[in-house]
Structure 1
Amino acid sequence: MWTIGDRARDLGRAVTTASPARFAVIVFLALIALFTTLLSMPIASATRTATAFADALFTAVSTICVTGLTTVDMGTHWSPFGLTVIYIGVNVGAMGVLTFASILGLVISKRLGLRAKLIAASDTNPLRAHRGPVNEGQTVRLGEVGALLATVALSTLIIEAVIAVMMYPSLLIAGVAPMRALWEAPYYAAMAFTNTGFTPNPDGLEPFLHDYFFLSLMMLAVFLGSIGFPVIYTLWRQRWHTRLWSLHAKLTIITTVLLFLVGGVVFLSLEFDNPNTFGDRNAWDTIFQSFFLSGMTRSAGFSTIDISQLHGSSLIVGSMLMFVGGGSASTAGGIKVTTLAVLALAVWSEAKGRPSVQAFGRRIPSDVQRVALAVVAWGATIVAVSTVTVAQITKAPVGDVLFDVISAFATVGLSSGVTDAAPDPAKYVLAVTMIMGRIGTVTLAAAVAATSRTQLYALPVERPIVG
């Protein structure tokens, strides 16, 4: 005789196995509800008063989505309890809800079953988040999921710890009290590696404006977090044997470095004469800060300047870089650099008249190209709808609204000022945009992959006029 517990267990297995993407959404929303409740409590605020629901919800979404956008002053509004809740939330959100759940299961049960491997694999590759056969020639094979989970947990702990230790002297030099620096250093390290962008002090990065070592550490942590755990796993296994790297790792690293360099050069050329940003600085500082801004627009959200003072042309460039984001299965958001790389290779192959899309001696199948195109279309639709809605609510300049909406969608955290002054309805729209940006593209990719079916016949061909 079945009990209620047996039925609930069977239902849970059916949900997690049949649709890992749907399970991820459920867990994701549950975490947002939990952290909203925690941040709404009086103990979470510095004044010991309950935080308004809209601000608590927005901060919880920004935390779990590792965005970094905020509607309150992070350095003065939250108590140590609130900052601790946020610190825990960004690390959970950065790992991915399914990966985090799998790690907990592995720690508790000391083993990783097939079902847990399938669930965890869905966090590393959207093409796995559906029922049916999966090509094992992918970034991370199913048999490697256990090692990948270990890589996720260890890399997060080790990288954040090392960065925190190296940041500690800079905090002391900046005038931070030794005891306070003991928790600010891990906080900054976590916000950098998770690509979140929250700062625990009211002045933000102002005390470190000319501490190039501290800012370089932040860029390094952001880079490691943005390339993705599968790439870190590949680098850990193969190290400098580049010919043994997976195609995904090669495309991710090459595209990430290329966008960083191009973005830095473009920001330098556009802002070198702007007195409100880099125009009143020396040549070295202007060059360094231009590349720092390029690195932060990828998904990190830290800034040493007032973003609202950038030229309109720079805001457009920043929006483009934010929309792309970082690597797949990383702490970064956006449509992902591999998506851009696949589409660029498809355009190049079409221009060269090649019958297939190729890179580094490998052929990229059509289903991957379909997913890349769908992700871009889905992301552009989210951004367009959210921009129109927020612009109508706030009546703010469309360029500024577009920048903040893309920052929310790509979980970046930079703001032109629209988010700070947004009314509650606009906050809710931006919160939904963050959620859609963090899990929407993966869910859509899974849905597109799930539509792939074997067809034993072919329909007549007819070519519509394109272009």
Structure 2
Amino acid sequence: MSRLSPRHPAQVIVLGFAAAILVGTALLLLPTSKAGPGSATVLEALFTATSAVCVTGLIVVDTPVYWTGGGQVVILGLIQVGGFGIMSFASLLGVLLARRMGLRSRISAAAETKSVGFGDVRKVLLGVLRITLVVESVTALVLAARFSLGYRHGFWQALWLGVFHAVSAFNNAGFALFSDSLIGYATDPWICLPVCAAVIIGGLGFPVLFELRRHFHYPARWHMTTKLVLSGTAVLLLIGTVFITAVEWSNPETLGALRPDERILAGFFQSTMTRTAGFNSVDFAQLNPVTLLAMDVLMFIGGGPAGTAGGLKITTFGVLFFILYTEISGGTAVNVFGKRLPRSVHRQAISIVLLAVGLVITATMILMLITDFGLDRVLFEVVSAFATVGLSTGITAGIPPAGQVVLILVMFAGRLGPVTLASALALRSRPLYYEYPKERPLIG
């Protein structure tokens, strides 16, 4: 085997995502993809393709105005493929067309979907497909009916709007076919709540959805991952809703102009969107800096693993929380829901956090050096890119080309995960044949 060929499953996944981005860039560079004369610039096409494949939602051009219907279809396809997973999608095509999978496909798909073993990969992929089709179809029908009956859109236009926003919501992408995202529908629960439901379901992660389908009435059988994701999602949604609504309650530029019930709806909507879906129903440029900082934290934590959400993942945050709790309480072993965590999980969680923090800080400092935007806006943009959220205070298009390249790299790293990237770059593992003697440094 050639030394240049990928060996580790993580390498295959990274190369697969890179290839999908390049294909998407090429398609968006076609003159038929751009509205008006000429074609998009390479940076515009690359940024949009990366944002779509990495299901982020940050944009440097106005999606409904700049891209033609064909370009929007390309973006939708990239969102669907990126949210499903590049290797998972390729393996699924192999299952559907050839009814079989090669060993490399099984290994890569298992790594991407976090399958327990190679034998159940085919079943997992078909399960992911069923869940995706059901959630997206139901959401699309509800949205299409509302666009048609409530806003007098024609049948095909309403259906297209419903399908696009349903796919974008379930995949936690945040791309919208309205120039102001969903600000025009901030007070409409028939638009906001279905979008929120799709975002939350997609953000739970497919392993959690599978277990809920099998053992919904038997919580005692739930895996630790399911318990962490469900409890963490509920707590973060509640905290985010209360905090955002309270801080922005009297802000006339955001929630202050709405009725009390509409303020709660908008607060819940924006709390949900920090689960890594970049729709907004208020003008983020007018948010209180404290709200932006709180959203930074919520976006950084992210959603569930092995799904369409980004961020550190709730499970990683949960593991760190219980490690901290154990240290403060004087415990010797980290126990979560009656089970003990292996020390390898401790190291993995700490490694992910340190790599993520390092990436966010580095990117933030670079952007602050080459732009005139303040820390709160730049940090919000970088965290949004890393956590593949797509929320923005409106500065993305105003960032110079070098800064947009930085955001492209941050989106790519955030979608694949710092650990995946690090392991993809390691061409071979180095076995340890000896250990050094232990010594304890002073801490604190």
TM above 0.5: yes
State how far apart, in whole Å, the 1-side matches of 2:75 and 2:37 are: 17
Asked whether 1:318 is paired with 2:295, we answer yes
2:405 partner letter = Y
Distance 1:207 1:280, change over 3 A: closer
State how far apart, in whole Å, the 1-side matches of 2:422 and 2:268 are: 32
Matches within 5 A, 1:332-371: 332-371=309-348
1:280 deviates by 2.0
Partner of 1:375: 352
Partner of 1:210: 187
Distance 1:48 1:228, change over 3 A: farther
Asked whether 1:157 is paired with 2:133, we answer yes
- 1:36 aligned to which of 25, 36, 47: 25
Asked whether 1:54 is paired with 2:54, we answer no
Asked whether 1:219 is paired with 2:215, we answer no
Partner of 1:90: 79
Contact 1:68–1:198, Cα closer than 8 Å, also in 2: yes
1:108 partner letter = L
Partner of 1:71: 60
- 1:438 aligned to which of 415, 429, 434: 415
1:456 deviates by 7.3
438-447 vs 405-414, which moves further? 438-447
Partner of 1:129: none
State how far apart, in whole Å, the 1-side matches of 2:133 and 2:307 are: 15
Partner of 1:81: 70
1:213 deviates by 2.2
Partner of 1:307: 284
Contact 1:67–1:195, Cα closer than 8 Å, also in 2: yes
Q: Deviations over 1:302-327 (max 9, x none)?
A: 11101010101001001111111111
State how far apart, in whole Å, the 1-side matches of 2:239 and 2:209 are: 23
Distance 1:451 1:461, change over 3 A: farther
State how far apart, in whole Å, the 2-side matches of 1:447 and 1:113 are: 21
Give the match's secondary structure for 1:75.
helix
Give the match's secondary structure for 1:333.
coil
Asked whether 1:177 is paired with 2:166, we answer no
Distance 1:449 1:424, change over 3 A: closer
- 1:264 aligned to which of 235, 241, 244: 241
Q: Deviations over 1:241-272 (max 9, x none)?
A: 11111111111111111111111111122111
- 2:264 aligned to which of 287, 307, 320: 287
Asked whether 1:99 is paired with 2:88, we answer yes
Give the match's secondary structure for 1:420.
helix
Give the match's secondary structure for 2:396.
coil
Matches within 5 A, 1:94-133: 94-125=83-114
Distance 1:348 1:214, change over 3 A: same
State how far apart, in whole Å, the 1-side matches of 2:17 and 2:426 are: 21
State how far apart, in whole Å, the 2-side matches of 1:188 and 1:221 are: 10
State how far apart, in whole Å, the 1-side matches of 2:291 and 2:102 are: 49
Partner of 1:6: none
1:204 deviates by 2.6
1:175 deviates by 3.0
State how far apart, in whole Å, the 2-side matches of 1:124 and 1:110 are: 19
Give the match's secondary structure for 1:240.
coil
Contact 2:8–2:427, Cα closer than 8 Å, also in 1: no
Give the match's secondary structure for 2:369.
helix
Give the match's secondary structure for 1:427.
helix
Partner of 1:396: 373
Distance 1:84 1:391, change over 3 A: same
1:230 deviates by 1.1
1:373 partner letter = I
Task: Kindly report the root-mean-square deviation, in angstroms, between the aligned alpha carbons of the 2 structures.
Answer: 2.1
State how far apart, in whole Å, the 2-side matches of 1:369 and 1:392 are: 35
Contact 1:328–1:336, Cα closer than 8 Å, also in 2: yes
How many corresponding residue pairs?
A: 443
State how far apart, in whole Å, the 1-side matches of 2:89 and 2:441 are: 46
Give the match's secondary structure for 1:437.
helix
Q: Give percent identity, aligned residues only.
A: 38
Partner of 2:142: 166
Contact 2:169–2:198, Cα closer than 8 Å, also in 1: yes
Q: Which runs of no fewer than 5 residues in structure 2 stay unpaired?
A: none
Q: Deviations over 1:349-396 (max 9, x none)?
A: 122222211112211111111111111111111111111111111121
Q: Which runs of no fewer than 5 residues in structure 1 stay unpaired?
A: 1-9, 126-138
1:207 deviates by 3.5
TM-score when scaled to structure 1?
A: 0.90
Distance 1:448 1:258, change over 3 A: farther
2:146 partner letter = S
Contact 1:367–1:449, Cα closer than 8 Å, also in 2: no
State how far apart, in whole Å, the 2-side matches of 1:433 and 1:301 are: 16
Partner of 2:118: 142
Contact 1:343–1:372, Cα closer than 8 Å, also in 2: yes
Partner of 2:225: 248
